[in-house]
């Protein structure tokens, strides 16, 4: 039996295929990478530029010897005039000319130079076919490939993909028929009584992103539906369909199948057999198909997703051909075996949503697939997904924010509301209304030509009571938005044009908000998701979105961002972006929402530190992005190499921990306010406007000044130049950037002269908002400042700050700082009023400190915070490069160890990483571990940080919260119940002990860590408390000043506080007696598949598990538990055999019995019925108390019934049981399962959901703790 040649063998062989497309036509196809090369001036390559090439490889000739030549000889079977087609990569910006020659009998008979010019109307980065014609005889012909003029080119070009020789001049060239082929055949299942067809929506992992196909009797066509004559019936079998065009050779495709009667009428169920195959023996055009895999599918609802690999040539690729259910089951098994975090709890009040789509692209999947994926997702503790987000009405005329299309908006919102109500949506469940993703301010160029902008711009300025004189023009006719090239001619109009970019966007958002709230009859946080341009460029105006301009309006009630921080010097800069939002929202209290970017290479440590740091700075609506699943969307790439975290257990713990940790302190967070700051960073938007196109270094100096203060745990507010009326609360202000409004400068001077301390970096406040010289501060400065010299403009993102050259150095105490980007000469004006505190290399003043009135001013001739971040980046770079191979080896070892030595699929802690497997005998392991653990730098120079904090130290500012470890982001928040401290560890290594001191105004009764439980603390005579804890990536610490117990989930067995004692008896055994709310087995007739309390989403989420978990964490020991459903008692109060039915339960001799009954009993309206009800419960309580004298807790009914609850309460009192009133829980619609998710059966939906279960658990737990005697930790 002959073996089938592999794809690799075919690729390595001379690929020459003869194919008759038309009668008497000859065609020869050549892969360029199979040509013979004279040197490495032409090399076969595969990279990001070759993704769209045939077989994803090209012959690349951009570098190497200029005289390199590649050749290929083919044999032609017949003479004729041949058209020689050449396919190569076209990049509009660069040329990579090359020459294709034709040689016969050592004679060059023809040639053509390609890529000498850009191809008109062809998109950049596309492959193009270009040709020339030549007469050739039958026999051998040699094709040659050489570099034009023997010159090299940009590395992005001169990618030659393939060639095609043909005598058919009508042939449209295509490389796909000559590569690997994917075929599919469909057999329609039984049960369809009307004609149908198979619809295929191909979702791709790159552009072109989407394609629709219809599969009927005659095969496949690119269309929404086939002709009526080609519809299928039950039992029909289609021909083999060619999927090759839609299964991309670099990435495959996500194939979304559905059975439809017409495009707009899907069938109820999906019943079909799908066979995937390939031509035998590598013959690409063969009709002899080898079946590779068969999917027999019955799906209700109607929908199926199959992930197709790039080809079916290899065993590895074939293994990637899988359907949705296979992915769901594989990941689900890992999740079921995973060791999930035990501390904390699922958030209820703070929305913590997740980007997860448990379906195909715009179509459902089988219910069992969705149910399995939902069970997996539930482990993470999120409290919603897309269903809790409304969308906007982004309709405008002529593409202008200033011309909203109100008619279309109204039509759209009417449709949206109808769909929302039809789906059973509740407005109370909506977390936010997201109008648009990543909009920017519209460009000045667009504004200058749009009639709507001209009109609104003038109206906006007039509303500000500005005059033409104020705008530096003669009349209102001259007032218009101006482009950047006109900024020097019309500086005032340029300034206001840039500000109006944000204002126009905000007005457009406000228009939508008004229509949406009117239509829904409810107010929501209404916002857009802003890209974090303020992080990328440290400048609002790179994207035309100024948070201070946006939120300085009553019609804005929320703001939303994302913490990609791509290109940032450190992910901690994402916290700076949130701090900007917090500052902008300070006056009006707008809500802050945020995407937590948890995929695309984000490490567990970074996920947790980002989320904790940003929560500390005001985020109260979260959405984790992006979970997946990996089969449901093109986001993240093909499942085999996706960067979604759905199938990445190494990231599971971090994502599960952060939801639980925020949930544990959500009651604290909802009343939290930042601790009062005495230090401010002044944010000058006018400086952003005038430097955005010239030098971003000023903004990065501002950003990294904030970073140094955060590293030193110094509370700092960001204050915009428009809000300097409130400077009195600060002692120190930092200012970077050359521009400041004249009004702000006047107020700033008055503040300094009244006693404030001002820090001015190079060139700060030297020009006004119209870029005119500004001398408001000049006369009070202790230094005469020379011209600001731009030595090296910086126009990139923060991660490249280490590329700045050192143009001078500064000696400041024992520290050496670098002069980067700009420099300004300084001269001490009056030695008696100031002093030089730092000097440049040649001895000239680099920093001068002096008095100004009652205050002080520090004047610097350089940007010192750039000298803080650059060494940290410099220290990380060589580690990234030199240890790359070691890290790869360590990851392999870690994977082996995790799968061999433990039940955990992969690393399960933010601390554990691949580098933990490396030897540390040379001491390098710590640095290597930190490189692997995080994107961030960590080696920040302490001496330079001290220089930056000089004015803080001079003013003897001592934060109320101090920490002994720099780079631990410790944020103090004042709350109703005490102080909440958010901790993010940016040292990037686990710390065995971190010590804190906190100044408090009230006596402290307890200190608790979410991760560790109760902490010992010491009260000091200074009015401080002192405590310490070990710290991994993050934690929250609550410092309680009242007697309330800690939140559920804040204690773990690692810090036991003692076994609770009830009536002198420890709680070691707990018995639950209840109905379906307590325990209900699977019941297919009502769609209930659980075996726990109805209708919690998981066993862990029902009130029994939540309560036991809380008791365990509070005591350090888990009690024995028994649970029984005795709904039969409720239904037959007098005939229920209590002693016989509860033999095992009575023999269990519980210490505590929790009774949750009454819902199934008929409401007692007559005296006889009431007596029957009371007697039955009295008998139950009597029998229960005969065994071991347990403490009994009895709750009221969840579905409140006044008569039943009154009788329950009296019976409890008579029996000495403790009555727990849960009426408010049952009256809150958010506590029902129907409020959390769609449930078909109304009875199931009417049971408590996860939030309701948590509330029931808390009610019982609070009652137990109230009556418990437990030793509490006491101050030393």
DSSP string, 29-73: EEEGGGSEESSTTSEEE-SGGGTTSGGG-EEE-SSS-TT-EEEEE
Q: Which token pair is 951?
A: 């004015």
Percentage of residues in the chain having pLDDT higher than 90: 82
Residue 896 confidence (pLDDT): 55
User: What is the three-class DSSP state of 416?
Assistant: helix
Average pLDDT over residues 835-854: 97
Q: Per residue in 293-302, pLDDT tens? A: 999 999 999 9
* Cα 650 from Cα 606, distance rounded (Å): 13
Are the CB atoms for 516 and 524 separated by under 8 Å? yes
Residue 1267 confidence (pLDDT): 81
**pLDDT at 912 > cutoff 80:** no
In sequence order, what are the residues at sequence separation of 6 or more whose Cβ sits closer than 8 angstroms to the Cβ of residue 1049? 343, 344, 345, 660, 663, 664, 1010, 1109, 1110, 1113
Average pLDDT, the chain: 91
DSSP structure class, residue 1209: H
Residue 56 confidence (pLDDT): 96
* Cα 393 from Cα 236, distance rounded (Å): 45
In sequence order, what are the residues at sequence separation of 6 or more whose Cβ sits closer than 8 angstroms to the Cβ of residue 791? 805, 807, 819, 821, 822, 823
User: What is the three-class DSSP state of 673?
Assistant: strand
Closest CA to 547 of 739, 715, 685: 685
User: What is the three-class DSSP state of 590?
Assistant: coil
Average pLDDT over residues 807-830: 97
Q: Per residue in 267-278, pLDDT tens? A: 999 999 999 999
β-strand partners of 535: none
Strand-strand pairing, 1152-1156 and 265-266: unpaired
Residue 129 confidence (pLDDT): 98
**pLDDT at 8 > cutoff 80:** no
Residue 640 confidence (pLDDT): 94
**pLDDT at 1059 > cutoff 80:** no
Residue 903: which pLDDT band, with cuts at 50, 70 and 90?
A: very low
**pLDDT at 913 > cutoff 70:** no
Higher pLDDT, 1062 or 975: 975
Q: Which token pair is 845?
A: 């003043």
Average pLDDT over residues 88-93: 96
Q: Per residue in 463-516, pLDDT tens? A: 999 999 999 999 999 999 999 999 999 999 999 999 999 999 999 999 999 999
Q: Which of 802-811, 826-835, 914-923, 1191-1200 bottoms out in mean pLDDT, i.e. has the lowest?
A: 914-923
DSSP structure class, residue 334: H
Closest CA to 575 of 532, 620, 617: 617
HSE (side-chain half, CA atoms, 13 Å) at 833: 17
Residue 894 confidence (pLDDT): 55
Are the CB atoms for 363 and 300 separated by under 8 Å? no
Residue 465 backbone class (left: φ over 0; alpha: ψ -120 to 50; beta: rest) = left
Only one residue has tokens 């069992």, namely: 368
Q: Per residue in 547-572, pLDDT tens? A: 999 999 999 999 999 999 999 999 99
Give buried/exposed letters for 1089-1118 (b at 16+ CB in 10 A, else e).
ebebbbbbbbebbbbbbbbbbbbbbbbbee
Residue 805 confidence (pLDDT): 98
Q: Apex CA 475: angle with CA 469 and CA 479, to 5°?
A: 90
Only one residue has tokens 């339960």, namely: 1145
In sequence order, what are the residues at sequence separation of 6 or more whose Cβ sits closer than 8 angstroms to the Cβ of residue 920? 926
β-strand partners of 210: 203
Strand-strand pairing, 1061-1062 and 961-963: unpaired
* Domains, the chain: 7-177 (2.60.120.260), 180-320 (2.60.60), 323-384+528-548+559-573+586-664 (no CATH), 679-868 (3.40.50.880), 873-933 (no CATH), 960-1055 (2.60.40.1180), 1061-1269 (3.40.50.1110)
Q: Apex CA 229: angle with CA 225 and CA 234, to 5°?
A: 80
Integer Rg of the chain from CA: 35
Average pLDDT over residues 347-375: 94
β-strand partners of 681: 718, 734
**pLDDT at 1051 > cutoff 80:** no
In sequence order, what are the residues at sequence separation of 6 or more whose Cβ sits closer than 8 angstroms to the Cβ of residue 1230? 428, 429, 1251, 1252
* Cα 844 from Cα 819, distance rounded (Å): 13
Question: What values do phi and psi take at 638, rounded to 5?
Answer: -60, 150
User: Cα torsion at 1046, 1051, 1055, 1058 (round to 10°)?
Assistant: 60
Question: What values do phi and psi take at 803, rounded to 5?
Answer: -85, -10
Q: Which helix (H) or strand (E) holds 327?
A: helix 324-337
Residue 233: which pLDDT band, with cuts at 50, 70 and 90?
A: very high
* Cα 345 from Cα 924, distance rounded (Å): 38
**pLDDT at 1022 > cutoff 50:** yes
How many CB atoms are located within 10 Å of the residue 419 CB? 10
* Cα 435 from Cα 136, distance rounded (Å): 63
Residue 25 confidence (pLDDT): 82
Average pLDDT over residues 877-881: 90
Q: In angstroms, how far is CA 516 from the centroid of its own chain? A: 26
**pLDDT at 1008 > cutoff 90:** yes
* Cα 88 from Cα 597, distance rounded (Å): 37
Q: Per residue in 884-897, pLDDT tens? A: 767 566 566 655 55
Q: Which helix (H) or strand (E) holds 1155?
A: strand 1152-1156
Only one residue has tokens 């959901």, namely: 1249
Q: Per residue in 1192-1249, pLDDT tens? A: 999 999 999 999 999 999 999 888 899 999 999 999 999 999 999 988 888 899 999 9
In sequence order, what are the residues at sequence separation of 6 or more whose Cβ sits closer than 8 angstroms to the Cβ of residue 1216? 1185, 1192
* Cα 865 from Cα 1076, distance rounded (Å): 62
Give buried/exposed letters for 889-922 (b at 16+ CB in 10 A, else e).
ebbeebbeebeeeeebbbbbbbbbbbbbbbeeee
Average pLDDT over residues 1085-1107: 92
Q: Which helix (H) or strand (E) holds 615?
A: helix 604-616
DSSP 689-754: HHHTTT--HHHHHHHHHHHHHHHTT--EEEEEGGGGGGGGG-SEEEE-SSB--HHHHHHHHHHHHT
DSSP 1048-1091: TTS--GGG-----EETTEE--EEEEEESTTT-B--BGGGTB--S
Only one residue has tokens 């403490």, namely: 1191
Q: Per residue in 1243-1273, pLDDT tens? A: 899 999 999 999 999 999 999 888 875 433 3
Q: Apex CA 651: angle with CA 650 and CA 656, to 5°?
A: 125
**pLDDT at 1189 > cutoff 50:** yes
How many CB atoms are located within 10 Å of the residue 1189 CB? 13
Q: Which token pair is 978?
A: 């005490």
Strand-strand pairing, 732-735 and 757-760: parallel
Longest CA–CA span in the chain (Å) reads: 116
Only one residue has tokens 């433990």, namely: 902
Q: Per residue in 672-706, pLDDT tens? A: 999 999 999 999 999 999 999 999 999 999 999 99
Average pLDDT over residues 191-195: 96
Are the CB atoms for 219 and 238 separated by under 8 Å? yes
Closest CA to 251 of 312, 205, 315: 205
Are the CB atoms for 637 and 254 separated by under 8 Å? no
Residue 895 confidence (pLDDT): 52
Strand-strand pairing, 1034-1040 and 1006-1009: antiparallel
Tell me the three-class secondary structure of 94-136, residue by residue.
CCCCEEEEEEECCEEEEEEEECCCCCCCCCCCEEEEEEEEEEE
Segment of 791-800, 1137-1146, 1236-1245 carrying the highest mean pLDDT: 791-800
Residue 905 confidence (pLDDT): 38
Residue 892 confidence (pLDDT): 63
């Amino acid at each position: 039996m002959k073996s089938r040649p592999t794809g690799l063998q075919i690729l390595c062989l001379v690929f020459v295929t003869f194919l008759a497309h038309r009668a008497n036509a000859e065609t020869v196809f050549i892969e360029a990478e199979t040509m013979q090369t004279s040197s490495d001036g032409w090399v076969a390559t595969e990279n990001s530029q070759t993704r769209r090439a045939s077989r994803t490889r090209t012959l690349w000739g951009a570098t190497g010897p200029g005289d390199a030549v590649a050749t290929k000889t083919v044999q032609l079977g017949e003479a004729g005039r041949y058209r020689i087609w050449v396919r190569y990569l076209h990049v509009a910006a660069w040329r990579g000319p090359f020459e294709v020659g034709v040689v016969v009998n050592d004679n060059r008979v023809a040639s053509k130079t390609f890529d000498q010019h850009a191809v008109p109307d062809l998109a950049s980065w596309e492959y193009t076919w270009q040709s020339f014609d030549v007469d050739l005889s039958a026999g051998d012909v040699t094709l040659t490939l050489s570099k034009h003029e023997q010159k090299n080119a940009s590395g992005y070009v001169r990618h030659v993909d393939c060639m095609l020789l043909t005598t058919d001049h009508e042939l449209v060239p295509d490389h796909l028929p000559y590569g690997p082929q994917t075929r599919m055949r469909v057999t329609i299942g039984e049960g369809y009584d009307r004609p149908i067809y198979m619809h295929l929506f191909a979702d791709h992992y790159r552009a072109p992103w989407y394609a629709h196909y219809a599969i009927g009797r005659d095969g496949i066509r690119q269309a929404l539906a086939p002709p009526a004559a080609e519809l299928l019936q039950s039992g029909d079998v289609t021909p083999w369909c060619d999927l090759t065009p839609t299964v991309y050779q670099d990435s495959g495709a996500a194939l979304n199948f559905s059975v439809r009667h017409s495009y707009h009428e899907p069938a109820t169920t999906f019943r079909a057999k799908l066979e995937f195959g390939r031509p035998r023996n590598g013959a690409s055009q063969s009709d002899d198909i080898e079946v590779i895999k068969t999917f027999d599918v019955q799906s209700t609802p109607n929908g199926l997703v199959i992930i197709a690999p790039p080809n079916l040539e290899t065993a590895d690729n074939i293994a990637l051909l899988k359907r949705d259910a296979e992915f769901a089951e594989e990941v689900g098994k890992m999740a079921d075996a995973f060791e999930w975090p035990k501390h904390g709890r699922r958030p209820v009040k703070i929305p913590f949503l997740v980007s997860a789509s448990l379906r195909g692209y715009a179509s459902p999947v089988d219910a069992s697939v969705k149910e399995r994926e939902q069970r997996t997702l539930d482990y993470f503790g999120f409290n919603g997904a897309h269903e809790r987000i409304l969308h906007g009405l982004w309709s405008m005329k002529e593409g202008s924010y200033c011309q909203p299309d109100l008619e279309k908006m109204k039509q759209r919102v009417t449709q949206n509301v109808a769909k929302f109500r039809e789906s059973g949506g509740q407005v109370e469940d909506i977390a936010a209304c997201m109008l648009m993703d990543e909009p920017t301010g519209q460009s000045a160029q667009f504004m200058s030509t749009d009639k709507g902008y001209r009109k609104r711009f003038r109206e906006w300025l007039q509303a500000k009571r500005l005059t033409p004189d104020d705008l530096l023009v003669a009349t209102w006719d001259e007032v218009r938005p101006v482009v950047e090239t006109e900024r020097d001619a019309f500086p005032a109009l340029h300034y206001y044009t840039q500000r109006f970019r944000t204002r126009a966007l905000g007005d457009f958002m406000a228009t939508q908000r008004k229509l949406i709230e009117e239509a829904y009859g409810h107010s929501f946080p209404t916002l857009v998701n802003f890209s974090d341009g303020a992080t990328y460029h440290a400048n609002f105006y790179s994207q035309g979105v100024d948070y201070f301009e946006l939120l300085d309006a009553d019609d804005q009630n929320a703001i939303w961002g994302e913490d990609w921080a791509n290109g940032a010097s450190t992910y901690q800069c994402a916290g700076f972006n949130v701090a900007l939002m917090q500052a902008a929202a300070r006056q009006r209290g707008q809500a802050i929402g945020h995407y937590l970017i948890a995929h695309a290479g984000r490490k567990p440590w970074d996920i947790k530190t980002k989320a904790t740091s940003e929560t500390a700075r005001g985020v109260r609506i979260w959405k984790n992005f992006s979970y997946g699943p990996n089969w449901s969307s093109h986001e993240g790439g093909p499942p085999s190499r996706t960067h979604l975290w759905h199938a990445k257990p190494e990231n599971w713990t971090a994502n599960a921990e952060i939801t639980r940790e925020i949930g544990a302190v959500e009651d604290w967070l909802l009343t939290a306010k930042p601790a009062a700051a005495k230090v401010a960073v002044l944010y000058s938007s006018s400086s952003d406007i005038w430097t955005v196109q010239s030098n971003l270094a000023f903004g990065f100096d501002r950003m990294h000044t904030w970073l140094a203060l955060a590293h030193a745990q110094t509370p700092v507010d960001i204050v915009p130049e428009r809000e300097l009326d409130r400077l009195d609360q600060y002692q120190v202000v930092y200012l970077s950037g050359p521009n400041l409004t004249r009004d702000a400068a006047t107020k700033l001077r008055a503040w300094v002269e009244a006693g404030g301390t001002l820090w001015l970096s190079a060139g700060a406040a030297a020009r006004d908002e119209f870029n005119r010289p500004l001398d408001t501060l000049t006369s009070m400065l202790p230094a005469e400042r020379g011209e600001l010299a731009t030595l090296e403009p910086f126009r990139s993102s923060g991660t490249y700050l280490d590329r700045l050259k050192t143009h001078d150095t500064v000696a400041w105490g024992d520290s050496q700082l670098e002069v980067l980007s700009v420099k300004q000469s300084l001269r001490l004006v009056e030695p008696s009023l100031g002093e030089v505190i730092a000097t440049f290399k040649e001895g000239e003043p680099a920093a001068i400190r002096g008095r100004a009135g009652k205050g002080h001013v520090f004047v610097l001739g350089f940007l010192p915070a750039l000298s803080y971040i650059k060494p940290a980046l410099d220290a990380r770079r060589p580690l990234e490069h030199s240890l790359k191979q070691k890290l790869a080896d360590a990851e392999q070892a870690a994977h082996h160890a995790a799968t061999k030595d433990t039940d955990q699929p992969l690393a399960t802690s933010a601390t554990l990483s691949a580098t933990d497997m490396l030897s540390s005998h040379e001491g390098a392991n710590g640095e290597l571990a930190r490189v692997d653990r995080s994107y961030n730098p960590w080696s920040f120079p302490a001496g330079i940080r001290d220089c930056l904090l000089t004015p803080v130290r001079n003013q003897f500012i001592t934060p109320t919260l101090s920490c002994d470890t720099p780079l631990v982001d410790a944020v103090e928040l004042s709350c109703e119940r005490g102080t909440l401290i958010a901790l993010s560890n940016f040292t990037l290594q686990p710390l065995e002990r971190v010590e804190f001191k906190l100044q408090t105004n009230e006596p402290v009764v307890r200190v608790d860590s979410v991760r560790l439980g109760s902490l010992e603390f010491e009260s000091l005579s200074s009015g401080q408390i002192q405590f310490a804890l070990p710290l991994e990536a993050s934690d929250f610490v609550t410092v309680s000043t009242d007697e309330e117990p800690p939140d559920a989930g804040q204690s773990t067995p690692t810090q036991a506080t003692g076994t609770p004692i009830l009536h002198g008896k420890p709680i070691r055994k707990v018995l639950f007696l209840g109905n379906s709310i307590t325990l209900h087995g699977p019941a297919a007739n009502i769609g209930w598949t659980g075996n726990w309390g109805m209708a919690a989403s998981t066993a862990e989420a029902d009130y029994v598990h939540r309560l036991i978990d809380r008791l365990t964490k509070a005591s350090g020991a888990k009690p024995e538990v028994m649970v029984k459903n005795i709904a039969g008692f409720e239904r037959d109060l007098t005939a229920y055999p209590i002693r016989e039915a509860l033999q095992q339960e009575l023999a269990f001799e519980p210490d505590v019995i929790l009774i949750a009954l009454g819902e199934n009993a008929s409401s007692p309206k007559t005296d006889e019925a009431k007596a029957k009800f009371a007697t039955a419960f009295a008998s139950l309580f009597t029998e229960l108390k005969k065994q071991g004298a347990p403490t009994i807790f009895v709750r009221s009914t969840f579905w409140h019934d006044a008569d039943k609850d009154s009788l329950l309460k009296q019976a409890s009192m008579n029996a000495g049981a403790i009555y727990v009133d849960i009426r408010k829980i049952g009256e809150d619609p958010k506590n029902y399962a129907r409020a959390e998710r769609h449930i078909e059966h109304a009875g199931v939906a009417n049971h408590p959901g996860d939030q309701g279960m948590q509330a029931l658990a808390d009610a019982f737990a609070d009652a137990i703790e109230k009556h418990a005697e437990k030793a509490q930790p006491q101050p030393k």
